[in-house]
A = this chain, B = another copy of it.
Amino acid sequence: MDTTRVLAADIAAHEGAGVTVSGWVHRIRDLGGITFVLLRDRSGLVQLVYDTPPELHNETVVSVQGTVAANEKAPSGFEVQVAETTILGSADSDLPLSVNQNVDNVGIDAILDHRIISLRNPQIRHIFELQASVVKYFAEWLRDQDFTEIKSSKIIGSGTEGGTGLFSVDYFGDTVYLAQSPQFYKQAMVASGMERVFEIGAAYRAEKHDTPRHLNEYVSLDVEMGFIESESDLMDLEVGLLSHIFAGVARDHGDILEEYGATVPATEAMAKTPRISHDDAKKIIKERTGKSAFEINPEGERVLCDWAQEEHGVEAVFVYGFPRKKRPFYTYPEGLKTRSFDLLFRGLEITTGGQRIHQYEMLLETLPKFGLTEEGLGDYCKIFKYGCPPHGGFAIGLERITQKILGLQNVKEASLFPRDRKRVRP
């Protein structure tokens, strides 16, 4: 008998032959005289048939040898009639959470408290298989556009975005901080001559809110590009990038999208993503809700995405021209407004971006308006003192885009091991 392992998804090709399959006991049905065991591996499920099974619990890890036979009642149309079973890892029978059942009615706290177990549930694990494709296609498309991947430090001596919202670290007796974003570093790398960079890395926000849209640690998909004309170039870039990600996810994970009852926007729909000014966005919110808005709150984000869907056939909308005081100091000004934008997708802001100030003199004039000094920003201003092209960029929250692709209720569901105010385990 061939002892090379065959994956569950591939057994149909081995009908009549002896195979080895390995995985986790997903479900046991003892019909008296015959026992069916569903075995789970990374590729899916396969039915094992036993006359006399060994002692097995759900989640026991086994390797079995047997013969593949057609059985139209088996999940894949085939089953393995087991000749020999080796137990590779035994399992306690006191599972704190069911692995083989639908988890739609299990609360988020139970799912996260028992994260080590809940990630075994295929429906939950699939979130992260899809998420891996988001990362893959993000990088793939940017490399095709001549972007270079960078890895910058997450330990910073001072905060470029001011000191609030930073976690502090004891660094050999000195206090340093966890970076909120690679903003400083991606700008530095554009100015270095690399011109086009991206980074996939952790970002930290020491903010106390505990909502379905916030994480204290998240994965930021960062992009920065030199030699742009304005923030319009960045919105063009993001439409191309997201279209590539969505197409790739649909191609690789149609089954996961179906499992979640989800779809992704087609490339043609993304191309129609409207771009509206912050002022017009507020008008649309007022028309639709009757309420005046000083800023675009979560309800406003949902209203604007509904509007985009109805008027433009896409669940996404760019809002540009945010007022200066609502954006960080480095945002390129345009009168009282800025060359900045947000992308709202399915009712949630998934991106903030904009052109940055690239002239040293303009930056020095700007700092006092934000209560900042050149010295206080460390080496930041040197990026611009020695020649920097017009540039800008944006960041996409990996967990937020995953959440919105699959229609998850809470962004924490899209983080393998989420961190919030109360949760640093597992």
Contact = CB atoms under 8 A, between A and B. Distances in A.
Interface string A372-389: 000000111011111111
Given A387-B60, A426-B378, A416 B152 contact: yes
A415 B170 CA distance: 21
A360 interface: yes
A12 interface: no
B378 A193 contact: no
A101 to B, nearest CB: 15
A292 interface: no
A426 B188 contact: yes
A63 to B, nearest CB: 8
Nearest to A208: B172
Interface string A82-115: 0000001111100100000000000000000001
Given A149-B132, A167-B169, A217-B153, A417 B185 contact: yes
A358 interface: yes
Contacts of A389: 22, 61, 88-89
Contact of A386 (B117, B136, B385): B117
A148 interface: yes
A154 interface: yes
Nearest to A380: B426
B169 A387 contact: no
B424 A116 contact: no
Contacts of A188: 116, 119, 426
Interface stretch (A195-203, A263-271, A306-314): A195-203
Given A90-B360, A189-B119, A421-B172, A136 B139 contact: yes
Contact of A170 (B146, B167, B387): B167
Contacts of A424: 155-157, 171, 174, 176
Contacts of A172: 206, 208, 421
Contacts of A421: 172
Contact of A148 (B132, B171, B202): B132
B195 A41 contact: yes
Contacts of A41: 193, 195
A116 B193 contact: no
The 5 closest A-B pairs by CB, nearest first: A91-B387, A379-B426, A59-B387, A42-B195, A119-B192
Interface of A: 5, 22-25, 40-42, 57, 59-61, 63, 88-92, 95, 115-117, 119-120, 122, 125, 128-129, 131-132, 135-136, 139, 143, 146, 148-157, 167-172, 174, 176, 178, 184-185, 188-189, 191-196, 200-202, 204, 206, 208, 216-217, 219, 227, 358-360, 378-380, 382-390, 398, 415-419, 421, 424-426
